[in-house]
Amino acid sequence: MRTRHIILLLVAAAVAAAVIHSYVSNRAVTEIRQAVRKGQMGPESAVDLSLRGVELTQGEKGEEVWKLKARGAWYEQAGGVIQVSQPEIVYYLRSDHSELLVRSSRGVVSQQDRLARLWENVEIERDGGFIRSDLLIYNGTDHTLNIPGEARFDGPDLFGTASGVTVYLNDNVLRAEGGVAVEMRIRQGLNDIMEGKP
């Protein structure tokens, strides 16, 4: 009887040790994975495919709407979402067939929903002018770029800030809803203006 108790105690101790070891190991692996995810530009969730140096194109009615290039991409099949690092997106403006370049540190593209969200160091560039923000949302249904927070403008002719900025890509129009503060720069010299020269 005593031998039986000793064997049961040994088995229970071995099982407890195995459970504790498994818990500690799994916790350590989880902590390492979290630390790695925090230190890299990769996905926040499990992915089905990981790529380096990716290029995506979206078209409509036989015309290119935008082209995306990114340093890295992670595809999550369940949500139909592509996470990207260091994306550069060229939007083709229909009104004058010019291009609008958008860059950021990170982004998520959902081709199914026709939406893209870019954040961290967002920069829109066109004709030597820049719009910078922390967040930009592309709506492929409306063909708009939305900056819900503050946008900072810096170009050859003006600089300033605004909030609630929307860029209508089809019409090549920009609208701001609030907090607009803009300063214009005069290109020609004051002497030319005083003399009435164009």
Give the mean pLDDT of 102-124. Answer: 90
Look up residue 95 and give its DSSP letter: T
Residue-wise pLDDT for 118-173, tens only, equals 999 999 998 888 999 999 999 988 889 999 999 999 988 788 999 999 999 888 88
pLDDT of residue 123: 96
pLDDT of residue 197: 60
CA nearest 129: which of 106, 90, 100? 100
Using CA atoms, how far apart are residues 158 and 197, in angstroms rounded to an integer?
22
Token pair for residue 183? 């300063």
Burial of 125-134, coded b for 16+ CB within 10 Å and e otherwise, reads bbeeeebbbb
Token pair for residue 116? 């893209």
Q: What residue ranges in 61-172 does DSSP mark as E strands?
A: 63-76, 81-85, 88-92, 99-103, 106-110, 115-126, 129-139, 144-154, 158-168
- Fold category of 49-184 in CATH: lipopolysaccharide transport protein A fold (2.60.450)
Using CA atoms, how far apart are residues 50 and 42, in angstroms rounded to an integer?
9
Residue 112 has pLDDT above 70, yes or no: yes
The more confident residue out of 10 and 171 is 171
CA nearest 49: which of 87, 29, 78? 78
Contact criterion met (CB below 8 Å) for 88 and 62: no
pLDDT of residue 17: 47
- Minimum mean pLDDT among 10-14, 55-59, 87-91, 179-183: which range? 10-14
Tell me the β-bridge partners of 136: 118
pLDDT of residue 40: 43
Task: Map out the domains of the chain as residue ranges.
Answer: 1-39, 49-184
Give the mean pLDDT of 84-100. Answer: 87
Q: What does pLDDT average to over the chain?
A: 76
Using CA atoms, how far apart are residues 165 and 196, in angstroms rounded to an integer?
36
String of DSSP letters for 114-138: TEEEEEEEEEEEETTEEEEEEEEEE
